[in-house]
Amino acid sequence: MSQTHTAAGVPVVAVDKICKKVQDASGELSILHDISFTLRAQESVAIVGASGSGKSTLLAILAGLDRPSSGTVRLGGEDIFALSEDQRAALRGAQLGFVFQSFQLLPNLTALENVMLPLELRGEREARTLATQMLGRVGLAQRLSHYPRVLSGGEQQRVALARAFVQRPALLLADEPTGSLDFATGAAVMALMFELNREAGTTLVLVTHDTQIAQRCERQLRIEAGRLVQDEEKLSA
């Protein structure tokens, strides 16, 4: 069992005693119970577990998109739930990248415009140049002016990767990024994601059902019925 990690100084992410409860027709339902762990810089971590175990809820809480019932999440030492909604949104824009199973591209924007958007929102003057370079890096230099509807699933996920990494985020959160792709396309997308992650020096948190993908990460956090039951680190060769 791996111990909680702290890099020199403050960990990138520190999760402390997170609980999430909701009300349904039968009463109170506990989705997450007493989850605690930390992540160090440039670490790759897979969150694994059965459907309904709480993985995606935990990822949403890490992003500050969902609020826990109790407990804290610190990003770079800052308690994200002590911030206002606007402050959390600004923090996400500055430090987080996202990759989703359903791509989440804006259909009325071209590939280039989708990748430029987060840069433009933070006032980056070189947004077009940086987005063009990143799309070239993911193999889509000839697709800059294409809209999502004319791109394949694999191409759409490459655009999503470019959008996520173009900001060079401190933390990248990926929720089943190959879930909508066939095996070969998914394998190619994941290989690209790990390459980009190494290049950018990002901390990667990946929710996946795929054991092969999970084994490529340095650490695996296993969630069962809302509890962290295993924190396993890959042994160095």
Tens of pLDDT along 196-224? 989 989 999 999 988 889 999 999 999 99
Q: Which residues of 183-218 are buried (b: 16+ CB within 10 A; e: fewer)?
A: eebbebbbebbbebbeebebbbbbbbebeebbebbe
- Residue 236 — very low, low, confident or very high, per pLDDT cuts 50/70/90? low
User: What does the pLDDT average to over 124-130?
Assistant: 95
Is the pLDDT reported for residue 60 higher than 50?
A: yes
User: What does the pLDDT average to over 98-123?
Assistant: 92
pLDDT at 89: 87
Q: For residues 17 and 93, what is the distance between their CA atoms, to the nearest angstrom? A: 26
Q: Which CATH number fits the domain 42-56+85-233, given the four candidates 3.30.499.10, 1.20.1260.10, 3.40.50.300, 1.25.40.10?
A: 3.40.50.300
User: What does the pLDDT average to over 92-96?
Assistant: 87
pLDDT at 109: 97
User: What does the pLDDT average to over 143-170?
Assistant: 94
pLDDT at 92: 87
pLDDT at 206: 94
